[in-house]
Structure 1
């Protein structure tokens, strides 16, 4: 039974219907990802389901007493003065007492008796563990100064604060619009684990394909106002989608061939002849309509020309930069060479965006030299996005750069033609930039950067707010881009596919150069961590224990070892069988039951594998 659903839902935006007669249901324990190109209404649907937007038509039905937590793309926190005001709800007794306790603890003149009373009240409500959970979430999301004014927070800080509040409140339904924006990779991996623990009910929109694959158990695609469901994660959705598009392509070609034959028949018939089959004429018009409305491949085209590049590209020598006593970059040197494809990795606030501003001359280094080559042309795609004037049209944004643009094949396209290639049809080219969605603005910004024919492309979080289809085209373009690529991204898929070298910002001014992509880096870090842990454990062993001879297994342990040799493969086989069953069923009750069984089987497998490894060490 659905705990959140819609009835004949319809909504329009700027006189265009996004969807009508839409039916959507969410059951307890579902983890659903909503996908679709920019402008199809994904964010609007999330806002309607969360109660933040009234639909033009239809209603939303909620289970009585259900609590919904909503994370919008751009949270509005203007009603709150400080972080404390937003985080701690007055109607939650535990949170209210925790806030009072924290304020007293930070006050050197605090009343000791009052502190003791509060401590007893917190103990009576079993709130100490809850307080620890709150602190852990806030710390993970880099929120430490609770007295800070909300009005002074950046967009990224407001997004992380809103996410923290949602996670602290633990709602019955998590509705998340681009939850990975403004998070570093480590925090995204932490969020993945948190959302997949227990039986959380999650509805999300995200461009992060690794995150999609890890969190979702069902994909629902919003396309031309219709929802199509795919049971399984994002990888499964891609397989089924490819099969459907192949079948649709075959059907379209078959319809076109039949239409040609029918058209010849129609033309051969005399106009005055009355013996023409009316049924066949009707069938012709129906087939013509189907062929016209058959979905065509519609994607962004990226093929701009790049400027010639000389031997000297960019040289950094002993560069240092700091802010307010904090060193971000210390004595860093690097000589860029042709073919460099570099990703910048590290936690938020460690200096990645500052590094990009330094090499493009937007900021000056405290010491050291930065010397670009004479032929180096930077193309800088900034995270902040477009800041258009109030009356600026879409086509004006392009014409402000150039009326005509040289393409890689030698063609020169007009501003209007290039906009059409970037999925801005003529009717949208003369609309105001302020009316574009967040993803459309980012696409327009990307186009303006590429129009400058850069041979040194710098991308600061290019994946934010772009739909997955546009991201796929961007990746295909960047994979074949012949210039220098320097990129900051929390999208692990993007880093893995497009970079072969990393600058790791450690947070203490140190920037480490790593040869390999992010997946390679994580693997190496895992090995190093295991080695360090083993060394610490070995050092902690008592000398007498180290000197003891190797333990021999008892008869019962030998039997257990042999039994585990048989049980483990059977468990693995059972997990494979149930996973296959999960992907093949569309019944919600069965999905929940199978998922629970798989979770239990995995826990059992982990325990038996650990025991087998323990016994095997004495063989």
Structure 2
């Protein structure tokens, strides 16, 4: 049986990413890899694939183990190749001739439309590029498949397609998935590894059940830590009292005993490690407030493509204070075009025909590609110039959001997608809006960041219109649900019916 074993594996990059990791990955495993952005998921996957070496420990692979890693970005040398050729060239050189059928079989397995099969990779959507990379790895028939953020750029239809493919994959070779999509992890994994700098923890359950067990583990660890620290305090008080007795009475035995007790207290305190916390201390959302009951009203509004083709009409829609509207629809239905139209109307003092915006509206806007960020500016200069907090305060809020001094001075264009997302959400928080217009705000955001955004929206009683493929996010924050379907928009009771129609 093909397997891979980790023995006391660790990686240090300025600080430990993870250490003393012991794990066996074998037949039939579907392992979810969970950690915050920058915490080592991609690094660990590269170590498993043999593309990087750990700082410490050993990775033992069974003889002849074939590992395929699907990274987040398309390699530059594949961008001008046709989808079909990308798969064909992934075959061993001596198997390419006469094995075109294998390429067609995998393309069929991924339900690839005929008109996409001969398009160059750079002409494909981000979602199809992801599926192409997964298909390219799959055609090599690996013994271990590693997927790094496979749901990035996938619309719901392709996301469900990927879930179905993983669950129906006709072989028992293990799959390791690094992802921030909680529903995807629940649907596709049977084990979960929480990667941490001090002590990584795994459970033989999908994400949500594993998360419950992790929270219980952390609560027990915190209780034990508090108990230990109380004992440390008691021992030190005893040591101090004995020391005073020894000094006052001239008793060497009392002072020796005092020193022994103090050494025990020091040892206990050293072993009472702090419980792991995900990125504490970030700036939180605020709500500027408004007395207006209806913040935005639409009547007889037509939503069009950039070239003027009609997508759908909105006969009437009032967005009242406290409404959290999730806009649903298949890819290409016009969700992002609606957001862009509303964004334009909210940035014009006179609005747009058919769209009325209350004068007290303070807009917080997030674009799915974070295009609102000035790519040539540094993170520090952007926050300093946009919000005029002063140099030191700007550096402090960036540090609280997880940006080191070095990263604060990098051009935004050089930040990772996760870092850009974090910067965009920081700017959203500092704007202190009373209306949030968000197109895929959780793209590239890790699970702690998604959960924090959800709780902040609820705590701030925010008014918002949001487009998102993150099913957990939609179900958590949504109070109203608009479905765009077949050129019409209508309000529905909840997102489940739409999700079921996409799967079907």
Instruction: Place the TM-score, normalised by the shorter chain, in its bin.
Output: 0.7 to 0.9
Deviation at 1:390, TM superposition (A): 6.2
Q: Aligned to 1:78, what secondary structure does the other structure show?
A: helix
Q: Which residue of 2 aligns with 1:615?
A: none
Tell whether the 8 Å contact from 2:438 to 2:467 is kept in structure 1 after alignment.
Answer: yes
Provide the C-alpha distance between the structure 2 equivalents of 1:395 and 1:330, rounded to a whole number of angstroms. 42
Cα offset, 1:230, TM superposition: 0.8
Q: CA deviation at 1:471?
A: 1.7
Matched, 1:19 2:1: no
Kept in 2, the 8 Å contact 1:71–1:166? The answer is yes
Q: Does structure 2 retain, via aligned residues, the 8 Å contact 1:320–1:329?
A: yes
Q: What is the aligned partner in structure 2 of residue 289 from structure 1?
A: 270
Residue 264 (structure 1) aligned with residue 249 (structure 2): no
TM-score, normalised to structure 2's length? 0.83
Once the two structures are TM-superposed, the CA of residue 68 in structure 1 deviates from its matched residue by 2.4
Largest Rg, 1 or 2:
1
Q: What residue is the counterpart of 1:374 in the other structure? A: 359
- Give the match's secondary structure for 1:451: helix
Specify whether residues 368 and 43 from structure 1 end up closer, same or farther in structure 2 by C-alpha distance, changes over 3 A only: same
1:388 Cα deviation after fit: 5.8
Q: Distance in 2 between matches of 1:320 and 1:390?
A: 32
Partner residue in 1 for 2:260: 279
* 2:297 aligned partner: 315
CA distance in 1, matches of 2:48, 2:467: 33
Question: For 1:75-110, what per-residue CA distance to the aligned partner results, in whole angstroms no more than 9, with x for missing partners?
Answer: 3243442224323227468876576xxxxxxxxxxx
Partner of residue 232 from structure 1, selected from 196, 205, 213: 205
Q: Which residue of 2 aligns with 1:41?
A: 40
Number of aligned positions between the proteins: 484
Pair 1:338–1:90, CA change in 2 (3 A):
closer
Distance 1:462 1:498 in 2: 13
Say whether the 8 Å CA contact 2:483–2:492 is kept in structure 1.
no
Measured in 1, the distance between the counterparts of 2:309 and 2:62 equals 50
Give the corresponding residue for 2:86.
86
Seen in structure 2, the aligned counterparts of structure 1 residues 518 and 211 have a Cα distance that, compared at 3 Å, is same
Structure 2 gaps of 5+ residues are none
CA spacing shift, 1:462–1:20, aligned 2, 3 Å: same
- TM-score, normalising length: structure 1: 0.69
User: Which range is displaced more, 512-521 or 470-479?
Assistant: 512-521
Partners of 1:135 and 1:177 in 2: CA distance? 23
Within-5 A mapping of 1:390-401: 392=378, 394-401=379-386
Counterpart position of 1:119? none
Alignment of 1:338 onto 2:321: yes
Q: Which runs of 4+ in 1 moved over 6 A?
A: 425-428
> Distance between the aligned counterparts of 2:399 and 2:68, measured in 1?
38
Say yes or no: does 1:304 pair with 2:286: yes
TM-fit CA distance, 1:432: 6.9
**What residue ranges of structure 1 are gaps of 5+ in the alignment?**
100-121, 406-412, 530-619
Q: Give the distance between the partners of 1:390 and 1:290, measured in 2 at CA.
A: 46
Matched, 1:358 2:341: yes
Is 1:466 the equivalent of 2:445? yes
Instruction: Kindly report which structure 2 residues correspond to 1:132-531, keeping only aligned pairs within 5 A, or say none.
Output: 133-139=106-112, 144-152=115-123, 155-197=126-168, 198=170, 199-268=172-241, 269-270=243-244, 274=252, 275-277=255-257, 278-291=259-272, 293-295=274-276, 299=280, 300=282, 302-308=284-290, 310-316=292-298, 317-323=300-306, 327-330=310-313, 333-361=316-344, 369-385=354-370, 389=375, 392=378, 394-404=379-389, 414-424=393-403, 437-506=416-485, 508=486, 510-519=487-496, 521-522=498-499
After superposition, the Cα gap between the structure-2 partners of 1:40 and 1:159, relative to the gap in structure 1 and judged at 3 Å, is: same
Residues 341, 143 of structure 1: alpha-carbon distance in 2 compared, 3 angstrom cutoff: farther
Contact preservation (8 Å) 2:43, 2:52: yes
Deviation string for 1:230-263 (max 9, x for gaps)? Answer: 1112232122112212211211221222222223
Contact 1:11 1:57 in 2 (8 A): yes
Q: RMSD over aligned Cα, in angstroms?
A: 3.6
Question: Quick one: distance in 2 between partners of 1:514 and 1:312?
Answer: 18
3-state SS of 1:276 partner: helix
Secondary structure of the residue aligned to 2:108 is helix
Shift in Å at residue 466 of structure 1? Answer: 2.0
Q: Tell me the alpha carbon deviations over residues 179-236 of structure 1, each in whole angstroms, 9 at most, x when there is no partner.
A: 1121122332232222122434110111111111121111111111532221112232
Secondary structure in 1 matching 2:364: strand
The answer as to whether partners of 2:6 and 2:22 remain within 8 angstroms in 1 is yes
Distance in 2 (alpha carbons) for counterparts of 1:296 and 1:265: 33
What's the CA shift for 1:32? 0.5
Cα 1:51–1:325 shift into 2, 3 Å: farther
d(CA) in 2 for partners of 1:432, 1:133:
41
TM superposition shift of 1:353: 1.7
For residues 449 and 487 of structure 1, the distance between their equivalents in structure 2, rounded to whole angstroms, comes to 14
